[in-house]
């Protein structure tokens, strides 16, 4: 760990190419944007937590917030996420604790336990886990210390990824929620924060990983941004402004999608016919909006085009399964739906529990009289719960023929992905009941006979 003091130029990759503002002007600028953000977004008496890494940016935010808290009363605290990736991580946590103690600010430290996962770097996991911890904080608002240079770097990264308006809007200054996310310093350049730190004689730590140019953001920060700042004096403010314009465009695109969704989107999903009837650009916009509303990340342009082709062009009887994130996109009876991926196979013995948790939901049993499964027949056999394997048949009434379970589920309009996770109830080797469909005639409780009513409670349609 390296503790720094008085904002040396090594702490700002671009300080050498731009003139830093005077100290008193920098302090006033930081205080002004923070005060304006608190007035606009944080109610008096609300709980506000600073996301504190110990770096110069978050230390500046902590220092300014602690000073302003007396004039704009909030319940101020700080959160430090100890990712454990650096040999200095313990000392960083101690440093953050000392800085908070000096300002009488309560600190919560969260230690991560990361393990390398296939296809994901530890750094990416650490970033994701950090945000998870911040978003799980029991506070009204979490304040992050991102500034204009961070925003400009994000815009450049999104441009290089071919992002649309949503991506090019980069980081919002405020995101509602519980907790809400607030970025009060987003309009100020890094050099203004460095000048504030110098004026206030602040200490901070330097994360050695920020100098590693193998990471795309660090490469832009150290190699590209100084060149842009030297050639274009308006950098990074011009890219911050561009991000605002893109945010406005994203809002308009969402507003158009909301209009197009009227009569097309309901609890069963998105209408295929409605999607096919829209002009291509509006159809892609609606599908992208629908997937985001369902909790999925936006697909790439090529993947979105492939989704459109499958979802619009496939026949009504075609089985569509498109994997996206940890979910699947399917179609049934003219509706596009997001659902959980195929359930893993399962088989378990029922021992009389009132509820049995299964991969795709909960099967509930309730004692009854004169209805449901005959309790006496179940007591003499082994009752097993397992999904369909194909070919199962059941007779539900004396005046009705035996039907395949598949046909009964189809007639009941149960989507294919829900059929896969539906547990069938077996008594030894006989099919006794299909939850939601009925009880086999041979296993139905007679009038006044003790029985079990069963109810299938499917899990949410998709994770998250």
Q: Where are the domains of the chain?
A: 23-114+122-246, 262-339, 348-458
Is the pLDDT at 7 greater than 60, yes or no? no
pLDDT per residue as tens digits for the range 149-184? 999 999 999 999 999 999 999 999 999 999 999 999
If residue 227 lies in a helix (H) or strand (E), which one and from where to where? helix 225-231
The CATH code of the domain at 23-114+122-246 is 3.40.50.620
- Segments in 42-117 forming alpha helices (H): 56-68, 89-102
The answer to which of 13-17, 27-31, 154-158, 295-299 has the lowest mean pLDDT is: 13-17
> Which spans in 314-427 are helix H?
375-379, 405-411, 416-421
Cα–Cα dist 303/48, whole Å: 40
Sheet strands (E) in 185-262: 203-206
Structure token digits, residue 46: 């609300």
pLDDT at 90 over 80: yes
Q: Any bridge partners for residue 78, and if so which?
A: 50, 107
- The residue whose two tokens read 């294919």 is 416
What is the mean predicted confidence (pLDDT) over 74-79?
A: 96
DSSP single-letter state for residue 221: I
Are the C-beta atoms of residues 421 and 341 closer than 8 Å to each other?
A: no
Residue 248 confidence class, pLDDT cut points 50, 70, 90: very high
Tokens 């842009």 -> residue: 228
Peptide bond into 236 cis (omega under 30): yes
- Model confidence pLDDT, tens digit, residues 126-138: 778 888 999 999 9
From CA 59, how far away is CA 61, in angstroms rounded?
5
Residues 445 and 309 sit within 8 Å (Cβ to Cβ): no
Among 361, 375, 388, 353, which Cα is nearest to 446's?
Answer: 375
Spatial CA neighbour of 298 closest among 162, 412, 417, 420: 162
CA distance 412 to 397: 17
Whose CA is closest to 324, among 336, 308, 310, 307? 307
Nearest to 451 by CA among 461, 440, 464, 459: 440
């Amino acid at each position: 760990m390296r503790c720094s003091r008085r904002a040396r130029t090594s702490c700002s990759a671009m300080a050498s190419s731009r003139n830093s503002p005077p100290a008193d002007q920098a302090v006033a600028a930081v205080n002004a944007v923070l005060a304006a953000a608190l007035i606009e977004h944080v109610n008096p008496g609300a709980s506000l937590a600073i996301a504190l890494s110990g770096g110069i940016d978050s230390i500046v935010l902590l220092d300014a917030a602690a000073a302003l808290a007396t004039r704009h009363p909030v319940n101020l605290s700080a959160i430090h996420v100890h990712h454990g990736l650096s040999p200095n991580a313990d000392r960083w946590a101690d440093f953050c604790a000392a800085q908070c103690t000096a300002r009488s600010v309560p600190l919560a430290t969260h230690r991560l336990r990361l393990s390398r996962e296939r296809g994901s770097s530890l750094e990416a996991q650490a970033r994701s886990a950090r945000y998870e911890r911040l978003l799980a904080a029991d506070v009204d608002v979490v304040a992050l210390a991102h500034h204009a240079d961070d925003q400009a770097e994000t815009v450049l990264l999104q441009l290089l990824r071919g992002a649309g308006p949503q991506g090019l809007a980069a980081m919002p200054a405020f995101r509602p929620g519980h907790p809400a996310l607030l970025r009060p310093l987003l309009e100020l350049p890094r050099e203004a924060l460095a000048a504030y730190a110098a004026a206030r004689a602040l200490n901070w730590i330097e994360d050695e990983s920020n100098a590693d140019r193998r990471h795309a953001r660090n490469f832009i920060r150290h190699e590209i941004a100084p060149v842009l700042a030297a050639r274009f004096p308006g950098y990074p403010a011009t890219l911050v402004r561009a991000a605002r314009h893109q945010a406005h465009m994203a809002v308009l695109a969402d507003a158009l999608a909301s209009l197009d969704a009227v009569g097309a989107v309901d609890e069963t999903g998105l209408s295929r016919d409605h999607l096919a009837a829209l002009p291509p650009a509006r159809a892609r916009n609606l599908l992208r909006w629908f997937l985001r509303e369902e909790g999925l990340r936006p697909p790439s342009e090529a993947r979105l085009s492939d989704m459109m082709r499958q979802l619009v062009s496939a026949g009504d009887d075609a089985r569509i399964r498109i994997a996206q994130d940890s979910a699947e996109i399917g179609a049934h009876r003219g509706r596009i739906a997001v659902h959980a991926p195929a359930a893993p196979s399962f088989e378990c013995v029922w021992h009389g529990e009132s509820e049995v948790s299964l991969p795709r939901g909960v099967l509930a049993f309730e004692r009854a009289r004169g209805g449901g499964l005959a309790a006496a027949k179940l007591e003499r056999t082994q009752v097993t719960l397992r999904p369909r394997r194909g070919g199962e048949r059941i007779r539900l009434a004396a005046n009705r023929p035996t039907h395949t379970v598949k046909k009964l589920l189809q007639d009941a309009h149960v989507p294919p992905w829900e059929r896969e996770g539906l547990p069938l109830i077996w008594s030894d080797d006989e099919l006794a009941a299909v939850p939601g469909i009925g009880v086999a005639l041979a296993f139905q409780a007679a009038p006044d006979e003790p029985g079990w009513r069963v109810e299938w409670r499917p899990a949410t349609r998709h994770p998250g």
